[in-house]
Amino acid sequence: MSDKVSFYEFSQLPQEEQYELAFTKGEFIDVSEKDNVRFALYKLYDFYVEVVYDFVNNKIVNLTSFLKSN
């Protein structure tokens, strides 16, 4: 795989590879919490990835990628 992955290529990857790229290549932006859920935002190349983590059950429950909107 090349060093840079496009938004489309990222969205076609298996979920485990998406997590790996977000955590190893992504730039951590911010985190917020609501109830028992933590939302972590990463910038990955020219798009963003939000990882939703249930910290009570100690598991990732969702990953969403999106392009910046104006």
27-67 confidence digits (pLDDT tens): 999 999 999 999 999 999 999 999 999 999 999 999 999 99
Nearest to 51 by CA among 37, 59, 62: 62
Q: Taking the mean position of all CA atoms in its chain, how far away is CA 60?
A: 11
> E strands within 2-46?
27-34, 37-44
- Residue 53 has phi, psi (to 5 degrees) of -125, 125
Residue 13 covered by a domain: yes
In a domain, 59, yes or no: yes
With bands split at pLDDT 50, 70 and 90, how would you rate the model's confidence at 70? low
Asked whether residue 1 is assigned to any structural domain, the reply reads no
Output the pTM of the full model: 0.86
Residue 2 lies in a domain: no
Q: Is residue 55 part of a domain?
A: yes
Please count the structural domains in the chain.
1
Residue 32 lies in a domain: yes
Q: What is the mean pLDDT of the segment spanning 3-15? A: 93
Q: How far apart are CA 13 and CA 49, in angstroms?
A: 13
SS3 24: helix
